[in-house]
A and B are shown apart, each in its own frame.
Chain A
Amino acid sequence: MSVLFAFLHALALLLAVVTLAAFLTWVERRVLGFWQDRLGPNRVGWQGILQVAADMIKIFFKQDWIPGFADKPTFIAAPIIVLASVLLAFAVIPFGNGVDIVGALNVGLLFFLGMTSLSVYGVVLAGWSSRSKFSLLGGMRAAAQMISYEVFMGIAVIGVVMQAGSFNLEKIVAAQTHIWFIVPQFFGFLAFFIAGIAEAHRLPFDLPEGENELGAGFHTEYSSMKFGMFFVGEYAGIVLLSALSVALYFGGGHGPIFPPIIWFALKSSFFVIFLILLRAALPRPRYDQLMSYGWKLMFPLAIGNLAVTGGVMIALGQ
């Protein structure tokens, strides 16, 4: 019985995340429209709210075509890896109020880092198995970008782990009862957030896709729901990054009056909107700029943050 309940619980969260990600595609286009002095999709349903349904119908009825030159098994596996790794990472997010599945997993943060590493495989394999030049270039860029940004993402979150004394995300949230980690770990947060954008390959770090130079990058050859899986995976990645930023640095569900889940949702949606705002505001850097930005600026910043955190903790005798 409890197994069945756990299964249903996981399924409900899964559905909620996928629905939210699909809904985000509409939110993004609408909000982006307003920021660019346009209206965005506003025809289907009230204020265009059913645009998601229309897009779903369209994308399911498109021809699901696999190019003859592609490596078929890998080609099919790649979008599944991307979506599955992002969705699995949601298991450890401490939403509070019993919504989370294993928020108290003792290696929760490591699990998240592992899942983001796995999603690199999905992107790289998609570019590799398509056997087309644009896809391969996109996959190569994805490999270099995501792996090098992952390095200092891990280092940045270690600061939080040191202060909270645990990889358990629920304990990390509980450790922020008095002060959110954004205050002592501000530079850690900067490094984590920027690395997170690069991990979700969102603009301005969308070089693996880079549609004006690479067609559509690693998913150039994908169509129909396989493309849809990349798409939903990307938006689920945004939600994941926002939720994790909230859990690690902004006190998770802590807040007055409302229950934790409401606060978590509010804070997360702030970051989701902020990510969309970054897309509207910032241009894409050149590839070498991206690399030097990561290795020469953010990486030393994350290491410095780690060293200072450690030094202060020793000085305070914690």
Chain B
Amino acid sequence: MYVLTSLRSAWLTFKHLFHRTETVQYPEQMPYLAPRTRGRIVLTRDPDGHERCVSCYLCSAVCPCDCISLQRTSAPNQWQPEFFRINFSRCIFCGLCEEACPTSAIQLIPDFEMSEYNRQNLVYEKENLLIAGTGKVPEYNYYRVAGIDAFGKHKGEGPAERPPVDPRGLMP
């Protein structure tokens, strides 16, 4: 009895000799990576070409392995980071920074080929992280929809915004 069932499973295994193999021969044969693949981290710009990052520190706070380090610029009314540093030797590509980011500045892209011989080269500075485009969120501009007074736009002038209510007015 044992022998027969064993022979049957041996036969079933043997038939796999004629199945297609699942292996992807990686360097010659590149696997398809979905656009939402969590790979290398980039900093994007808004459609006007300004840096999206407003140095809110949420990404660095949420990062489970503390690999993001940044500092807001000291200039008044300026919110770009003075430095923005990601240590990719610690990054686990969990994507929490992307979810935390209120301005869609920090994004993960489908690229994982970032091996280095020197560990120091895995520390990416802001100029390494910044890209020219908008990344995965093409239209979004935080300052246009945030309802604040910035970049020549006054309160209530943005899309889907109403003019501010005068709190001292009598009429509702």
Contacts and interface: CB of A to CB of B under 8 A. Distances in A.
Contacts of B6: 278, 281-282
Contacts of A278: 6, 10
A31 B2 CA distance: 24
- 5 nearest A-B pairs in the assembled complex, by CB-CB distance: A281-B13, A281-B10, A39-B23, A281-B9, A280-B13
B9 A37 contact: no
Contacts of B25: 39
Interface in B14-66: 14, 16-17, 19-23, 25
B16 A37 contact: yes
A186 B161 CA distance: 88
Contact of B9 (A34, A38, A282, A293): A282
Contact of A38 (B12, B13, B21): B21
B14 A38 contact: no
A32 to B, nearest CB: 10
A293 B14 contact: no
Nearest to A280: B13
A293 B17 CA distance: 30
- Size range of the interface on B? 10 to 19
Nearest to A282: B6
A190 B12 CA distance: 20
Chain B residues touching A, majority SS? helix
A277 B2 CA distance: 16
Interface string A293-309: 10001000000000000
A31 B14 CA distance: 10
A39 B9 CA distance: 21
Contacts of B20: 37
Contacts of B17: 31, 34-35
A277 B14 CA distance: 7
Contacts, number: 41
Contacts of A34: 16-17, 21
Contacts of A282: 6, 9-10
B165 interface: no
Interface in B47-99: none
Nearest to B24: A39
A152 B12 CA distance: 29
B16 A293 contact: no
17 contacts: A34-B17, A35-B14, A36-B16, A37-B16, A37-B19, A37-B22, A38-B22, A190-B3, A274-B10, A277-B14, A278-B6, A281-B6, A281-B9, A281-B10, A281-B14, A282-B9, A282-B10
Interface of B: 2-3, 6, 9-10, 12-14, 16-17, 19-23, 25
A33 to B, nearest CB: 8
A280 B17 CA distance: 11
Contacts of A274: 10
Contact of B13 (A39, A277, A297): A277
A277 to B, nearest CB: 5
Contacts of A38: 21-23
Contacts of A33: 21
Contacts of A39: 21, 23, 25
Nearest to A43: B25
A35 B16 contact: yes
B13 A37 contact: no
Nearest to A39: B23
Given A190-B3, A293-B2, A281 B21 contact: no
B131 to A, nearest CB: 35
Given A35-B16, A190-B3, A293-B2, A277 B10 contact: yes
B13 A35 contact: yes
Nearest to B14: A277
A41 to B, nearest CB: 11
Given A34-B17, A35-B17, A190-B3, A281 B22 contact: no
Given A34-B16, A281-B9, A282-B9, 19 more contacts: A31-B17, A33-B21, A34-B17, A34-B21, A35-B13, A35-B14, A35-B17, A37-B16, A37-B19, A38-B22, A39-B21, A39-B23, A39-B25, A274-B10, A277-B14, A278-B10, A280-B13, A282-B6, A293-B2
